[in-house]
Amino acid sequence: MEDIGLVGTGPRLAAIAHLVDRNGRQMRHWGLEEASSDSVSSGDFGASGRRGEQVSAWPESVGEARVDDLADTPLIFLWTPIHRMRDTLRRLGDVLTGRQVVVHLSRTLEYATLTNVSSIIEQETPVPRTGFVTGPMVPEDVVAERGASAVCASDFPEVNDLVEEVLRRPRFRFFRNTDLAGTQAAAVYARILSLVAGMAAELDVGRSLRSTLFASGLAEMRDFVAYQGGVDRTTFGLAGAGNLHVDTTGTGGIDFRIGRELVDGGLDDIEAFRDNLAAVDEEIFGLLDTLASRARQAQLDLTILEVVDRVVSEEISLQEAVDELLGTAG
């Protein structure tokens, strides 16, 4: 097989590189030099200096490349912030022929349109065969081979075959899914629920309410997955429940930590907090704004989403939010 292509930045892309390297593959990396500051792979953020996911240096088998060098790569893994996604894909589209496979790692949707990244790939490039890799693949666990897993969703069986071939490791479990739309929707909604869980943890509301939010959140995720054209069972797989669990346990994922920071002083000046956060991860509040607006338009009953959006919009206090969330069990 020819070299594997890597496009973008971030800890999950680096973790993919380690898996590919240990399977003896060479890689070409187009790092979007101007976008390096957008990576969430490192850096303190917020007042208390909680840190994001990190991985060690990329493997030596990763060679830097220009976008033109990716024309001959059969498989490309992609992560870039959503505000750069279309421009990045247009540049890729100029050199790709359509025979390649592009697999993204992005747990977000395009603001305003709620278009998922696989659809954006199809719109901006000649590539018809896309995939999405997600799940509880904590980068440092992947690199240390402690045991991790991920799911690849695609409409094409050969995409899963190709991804499994380059990622399979003794301590990395690979699952397949054909619900591409639902998998992307579940992974996105898990981020919103992780933000809420971080807020609840910092408020020290107790394990009972946090468990209630977890269960009720999965019910809301199921409804959002259906709205996005997915199937129910995807909610309870690695993209949904799996992501949500790993995002909210231990030190948690980046959205969980942002939720804690938000309660720990961020709500005192939400505009300044969001400006400060933008250097690390501007996506979560863009997602929150977009999803809450769409839920109201579509009359979706997503209570947890609505409550946290009202908190961030300073329409209700944290105590009022807790009181409302106590009524979300069902």
Tokens of 107: 């747990």
Kindly list the domain boundaries of the chain, sorted by start residue. Answer: 4-178, 181-325
Instruction: Report, as an integer, the average pLDDT of 165-193.
Output: 95
Q: Are strands 130-134 and 148-153 parallel, antiparallel or unpaired?
A: antiparallel
CA atoms within 13 A on the CB side of 12: 23
User: Across the chain, what does the average pLDDT equal?
Assistant: 87
d(CA 130, CA 121): 8
Average pLDDT score over residue span 69-80? 94
Nearest partner of 9 among 48, 45, 35, judged by Cα:
35
CATH number of the 4-178 domain: 3.40.50.720
Quick one: tokens of 30? 């187009």
Structure tokens at 188: 């996105």
* Token output for 276: 């400060």
Q: Is the pLDDT of residue 51 over 60?
A: no
For residues 36-57, give the mean pLDDT.
40
State the pLDDT at residue 56.
54
- For the chain, percent of residues with pLDDT exceeding 90: 66
Lowest mean pLDDT among 41-55, 222-236, 252-266: 41-55
Q: Which of 41-50, 169-178, 192-201, 217-226 has the lowest mean pLDDT?
A: 41-50
In the chain, what are the helix, strand and coil shares in percent, each to the nearest 5? Answer: 55, 15, 30
Name 26's Cβ contacts closer than 8 Å, sequence gap at least 6.
Answer: 3, 4, 61, 63
CB neighbours of 247 closer than 8 A, spacing ≥ 6?
190, 191, 193, 194, 197, 253, 255, 256
Residue 9: what pLDDT? 87
Which CATH code is given to the segment(s) 181-325?
A: 1.10.1040.10
- The mean pLDDT of 48-58, rounded to a whole number, is 50
CB 243 within 8 A of CB 134: yes
DSSP letters along 214-257, please? HHHHHHHHHHHHHHTT--GGGGGSIIIIIHHHHHHSTT--HHHH
The percent of residues in the chain predicted with pLDDT above 70, rounded, is 88
- The span from the CA of 284 to the CA of 277, in Å, is 10
125-170: pLDDT as tens digits: 999 999 999 999 999 999 989 999 999 999 999 999 999 999 999 9
Angle at 262 between CA 258 and CA 268, to 5 degrees: 155
